[in-house]
Structure formats: structure tokens, C-alpha cells
Amino acid sequence: MSHQMIKPVSRDRIPFPNLAKNPQTWADDFLKMETAEAEYKKLKAEYDEIRKCPRSKTDQIKLLKQAYSNHCDNISKQLAGLLSMHGPDAFMRLPHMPASPINSFIPIEIFEAALDQLPPDPPDAMTDETKQKKLDAIRKKMDEQKAKIKKYSPQAFFLLKNGSIMCDSRKEFVQYWREKQNCIAGACNIQGIDITECGEAEKWAYKKLGIAKFISPKSQKLPFRP
């Protein structure tokens, strides 16, 4: 495999190039922010999975019984109104009222027999109380991570447009560097220059930010050496 030395990227094409001058002022907080974001994402996925867990059969039956009771109460009220208005003739009117809940009455025996035939709980089913406790616990942890993200994201690094945050300059800078390194088979700075040819600040940032993890051993491109 033949390797070819790349042409370095000019500084004016790098996002927020001034960050390369003083990485000691932001790299620690940036990594803490990234860690908090990753943990928040993990917790959010766990939260969403628990939310999708089906309700336990016990709680489901409890709700169905309450719904059945409400249905019967509604029928009783409507039948009482019908009897009050039409007396014995009310029963002659029922066949002409197919949409009335009175005509959808389900005897308690049939209802209970239907409950007995409900399928068993799936493996991930849980009671409403258990689900809520789990969700509350995860939400608390998510809020803690959000607080950390805010703490380690000083506004000085935000690019704003009309008062809205467009991006975190540190993220743009580091992501560009990682992508550049991921195309090259040797350690390089954000411009693609061999890291051994760079100043102490860039060497420190390279190590601190773990850019070496993104080296591409199979790449045919080599970092630029003056």
C-alpha cells in the first residue's frame, strides 16, 4: 500500500481556529460536558423503553372493571331518564334506539368470563406504580445530567443567531479535528499537520481530547510534514 502526504488545511477553513491556542481553558469542561451528554442520552433511551412497557394484567383488569362500572352507571342513568319520560312505553322504544348505551349492556357474568380469558403478562409488563417509580428515578438522574451539561457549557462558547444557540464552538472544533484524524494514518493536528511538528498547546489538546482514538490505520494518507 502506497501512502501519500496530505496538504494541510488553511486556518481560515477550520471552525473556530482560535480554540487551538488555549485548549487548557476549555478542554476539561468540554469532556465533562460530553460525558454528561452521553449519560443523558443513555438515560433517555432507558426512560423511553420503560414508557413503552405494557401495563400489568392486574392493573389492566382494575381499569377494565372501573370502565365497566362507569358504563353500567351510564346505562342506569339513561334508562332512568327513559323510564321517567315514557313509563312502560320506554321498552317499546328501545329497539328504535340502536345507538343508545342501554342496548350495549354486557351482563356481569359475561364481562368476568372475558376478563378470565385475558392473556398473561408479557415478560416486560409492570404495574403502573412500579413504572412510575422507575420513570421518576430516571428523570431525576436525567435532570442531574442536564444540570452538568449546563454547568460545563459556558455561553462564551455558543454561537448565537437572533438570540438562539446555533452551536457550541467547542463541539464544532473537536468534531472537525476528529473527522480530519479519521482520514489520516498518523497523528495530526486539526489542519492535518503531523502532531510532532506542532506546538505544546496542540500536543496537549491532542492527548487530552483523545484524538489518537480516531487515527485511521488503513488510510493511505499521511499527516503533512514541513
Per-residue pLDDT band at 74 (split at 50, 70, 90): confident
Statement: the pTM of the whole predicted model exceeds 0.85 = no
pLDDT digits over 100-113, tens only? Answer: 766 778 889 999 99
What whole-number distance in Å separates Cα of residue 43 and Cα of residue 141? 8
Average pLDDT over residues 45-68: 96
| pLDDT class of 142 with cuts at 50, 70, 90 | very high
Domain boundaries, the chain: 1-26+158-226, 57-120
Per-residue pLDDT of 160-184, as tens digits, reads: 887 788 899 999 999 999 999 999 9
**pLDDT range class, residue 10, cuts 50, 70, 90:** very high
